């Protein structure tokens, strides 16, 4: 492989990218360059076989690539000037290289092929030009206008695709001064040269300021900046779509201030400078539209109104307004807040501010967990202490009560014992008493028996003494009438029969007479 | 990872437990112990999510596509 040529190719590619304001791979990636050098490509046809190069790229870069490949290396020849002025280039040779034939001087071209060749050459005149808009016309998808040089009245017809025109955010009016970016091109049907612009921007701080104010008022009236439109930013964002430039400070500011909470950042490298950044920013925002992210973050370091043109672009503002997820922006600015900041759901004044905002809820959460931990365990420890205290109190109470119970038990048992021994004593006494009582009773009984016997004897004696039979024996007799014992003379009448009882029998007699005892 | 929702939920529950303790005039030890256990689990899961986790950073590989500017 021709290393010098590869180096030259890369150098050219890097310059070209810088000139176009795009990433290097957008011109040609390293693989394609390697392949060109490896295969030592010399013709346009061969170039088309290289991966990553189609007709479009061939037309755009073919000439310059082939110039490099067909130029012999010389000592110290590491910095070949390319582009507008290339003294080393022989036009015929270049043409031959593009066409792929060695001899073009004698060749007759058709008009069409010739114009193609011319356009291929013109493609390298990719520049910015400045002038005053003099006339305007709208046809189909294209705006046509003339740009006039104020100093000498030179004029060039220009065109811009409506799409690019809209993206530019500039309203073309006769008399305004603009800078346009693009390249010249011959329109084949008419053979007329016109400048194909891809961006238009106003010239001068005053004009830019006015444009900014007008757009701001217009969008404000539409309610695009109203608080009701703003989506709430959820806490604990994790998946973040980040749009900014790989080269700027902003990306470092964001990454260094996010903290370490496991953010998953998908980074879309975008241009951020000037109006040329609009397509790139739009592409980035659109890319994230259907991606799994929690929020979209758009940041850029501070800059002047001119350098922040893309962040005041109507198309971009509308794209952000319609973004389905919350958008957080941090566009540093010198004077006016960018319209992107106004339309974003949340804006911070710097990229660092955005990073801090994103990590805020996480930091808060950490604080809340630590605090919660302290509170919960603290509360429980206090509760334990309290219950421990009350346990101690209760157990003290129980102990006291038990002691009381024990002592009263002791007391009771003592009393019981006393009572029992009393009872025993009583029982013994009672027994003795009973014993004694028995003897006594027996004594009384025998005494009583004796007395009775004595009495009976006396009575027997008395009975014996008074026995009528004994009286009868002594000679006394008993007189009975038929009815009764006769005790008085009045109990019988004269002549009445009476019975006389004697000891050995009866006498039956008759009262003869009666005489009462003389009174003494 | 759905840890985000979990974290949010966990934090809410944690706060509820804190409130629960605040509201109790006298903490029932058994119920309190349950709450503390619950809280410990939540704290653990929260801390797990909130520990230092390096951020992942991935750059979108754009397709080489010139069409965007010319749309």
Provide the 3-class DSSP secondary structure of residue A479: strand
**CA-nearest residue of chain B to A390?**
B26
| Residue B44 within a domain | yes
Q: Where are the beta strands (DSSP E) in chain B?
A: 56-59
CATH of A127-203, one of 3.40.50.11390, 2.40.50.140, 1.20.1740.10, 3.40.50.720: 2.40.50.140
Into how many domains does chain B fold? 1
Domain that holds residue B35: 3-50
- Domain residue ranges in chain A: 3-122, 127-203, 211-360, 471-510
Substitution target in B3, B18, B25 with the highest count of A β-carbons within 10 Å is B18
3-state secondary structure A3-20: HHHHHHHHHHHHHHHHHH
For residue range A99-112, what is the model confidence (pLDDT) as tens digits? 655 566 677 888 88
- B23 shares contact with chain A (CB less than 8 Å): no
Structure tokens at A115: 């114009």
Q: What's the mean pLDDT in A415-440?
A: 88
Q: Is the dihedral of CA A454, A459, A462, A468 positive or negative?
A: negative
Residue A520: the pLDDT is 61
Contact B52 A260 (CB under 8 A): yes
pLDDT in tens, chain B (71 residues): 445 567 888 888 888 888 888 887 777 788 888 888 888 888 888 888 888 888 888 888 775 444 444 33
**Min Cα–Cα distance to chain B from A243, Å:** 10
> Which residue in A70, A173, A68, A62 sits closest to A123, CA to CA?
A62
The pLDDT-based confidence of A441 (bands split at 50, 70, 90) is confident
- CB-nearest to B55 from A265, A280, A372 is A265
Any chain A CB within 8 A of the CB of B68?
Answer: yes
Section A52-56 average pLDDT: 83
Is residue B61 situated within a structural domain?
no
> Does A31 touch chain B if contact means CB atoms closer than 8 Å?
no
Architecture in CATH for domain A3-122:
Orthogonal Bundle (1.10)
Q: Find the closest chain A residue to B64 by CA distance.
A: A26
Residues β-bridged to residue A244: A269
ipTM of the complex: 0.76
| Separation in Å, CA of A182 to nearest CA in chain B | 11
Are β-strands A127-139 and A142-148 bridged in parallel, bridged antiparallel, or unpaired? antiparallel
Contacts of A256 in chain B (CB under 8 A): none
Four-way CATH pick for A211-360: 3.30.365.10, 3.40.50.150, 3.30.460.80, 3.40.50.2300: 3.40.50.2300
B71, closest residue in chain A (CA to CA): A163
pLDDT value of position A32: 87
What's A119's DSSP letter?
Answer: H
Nearest-Cα distance to chain A for B45, in Å, is: 10
Q: Which of A73, A72, A60 is nearest to A122 (CA)?
A: A60
Task: State how far residue A222 is from chain B, nearest Cα, in angstroms.
Answer: 26
């Amino acid at each position: 492989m021709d290393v010098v040529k590869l180096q030259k190719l890369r150098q050219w590619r890097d310059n070209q990218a810088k000139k176009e304001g795009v990433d290097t791979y957008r011109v040609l990636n390293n693989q394609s360059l390697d392949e060109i050098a490896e295969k030592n490509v010399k013709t346009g046809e061969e170039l088309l076989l290289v991966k990553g190069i189609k007709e479009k790229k061939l037309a755009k870069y073919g000439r310059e690539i082939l110039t490099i490949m067909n130029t012999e290396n010389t000592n110290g020849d590491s910095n070949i000037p390319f582009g507008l002025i290339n003294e080393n280039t022989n036009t015929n040779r270049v043409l031959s290289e593009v066409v792929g034939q060695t001899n073009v001087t004698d060749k007759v071209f058709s008009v069409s092929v010739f114009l193609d060749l011319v356009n291929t050459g013109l493609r390298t005149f990719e520049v910015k030009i400045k002038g005053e808009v003099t006339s305007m016309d709208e046809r189909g998808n294209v705006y046509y206008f003339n740009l006039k040089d104020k100093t000498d009245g030179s004029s060039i017809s220009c065109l811009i695709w409506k799409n690019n025109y809209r993206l530019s955010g500039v309203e073309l009016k006769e008399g305004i001064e603009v800078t346009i970016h693009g390249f010249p091109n011959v329109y084949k049907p008419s053979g007329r040269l016109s400048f194909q612009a891809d961006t238009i921007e106003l010239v001068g701080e005053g004009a830019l300021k006015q444009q900014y104010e007008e757009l701001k008022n217009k969008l404000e009236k539409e309610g695009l900046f109203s608080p009701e439109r703003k989506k709430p930013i959820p806490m604990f964002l994790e998946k973040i779509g980040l749009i900014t430039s790989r080269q700027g400070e902003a990306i470092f500011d964001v990454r260094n201030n996010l903290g370490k909470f496991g953010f998953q950042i998908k980074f879309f490298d975008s241009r951020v400078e000037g109006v040329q950044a609009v397509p790139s920013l739009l592409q980035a925002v659109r890319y994230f539209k259907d991606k799994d992210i929690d929020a979209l973050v758009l940041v850029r370091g501070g800059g002047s109104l001119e350098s922040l043109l893309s962040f005041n672009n109507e198309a971009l503002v509308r794209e952000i307004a319609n973004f389905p997820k919350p958008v957080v922006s941090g566009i540093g600015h010198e004077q006016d807040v960018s319209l992107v900041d106004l339309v974003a759901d949340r804006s911070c004044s710097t990229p660092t501010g955005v990073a801090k905002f994103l990590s805020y809820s996480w930091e808060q959460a950490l604080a809340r967990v630590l605090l919660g931990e302290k509170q919960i365990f603290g509360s429980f420890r206090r509760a334990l202490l309290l219950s421990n205290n009350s346990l101690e109190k209760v157990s003290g109470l129980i102990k006291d009560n038990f002691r009381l119970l024990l002592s009263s038990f002791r007391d009771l048992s003592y009393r019981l014992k006393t009572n029992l021994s009393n009872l025993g004593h009583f029982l013994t006494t009672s027994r003795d008493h009973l014993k004694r009582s028995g003897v006594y009773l027996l004594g009384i009984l025998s005494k009583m028996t004796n007395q009775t016997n004595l009495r009976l004897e006396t009575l027997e004696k008395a009975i014996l003494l008074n026995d009528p039979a004994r009286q009868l024996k002594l000679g006394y007799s008993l007189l009975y009438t038929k009815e009764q014992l006769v005790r008085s003379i009045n109990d019988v009448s004269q002549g009445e029969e009476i019975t006389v009882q004697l000891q050995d029998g009866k006498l039956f007699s008759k009262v003869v007479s009666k005489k009462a005892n003389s009174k003494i | 990872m759905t840890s985000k929702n979990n974290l949010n939920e966990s934090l809410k529950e944690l706060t509820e437990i804190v409130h629960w303790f605040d509201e109790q005039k006298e903490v029932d030890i058994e119920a309190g112990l349950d709450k503390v256990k619950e809280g410990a689990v939540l704290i653990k899961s929260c801390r797990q999510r909130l520990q230092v986790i390096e951020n992942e950073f991935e750059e979108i590989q754009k397709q080489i596509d010139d069409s965007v500017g010319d749309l």
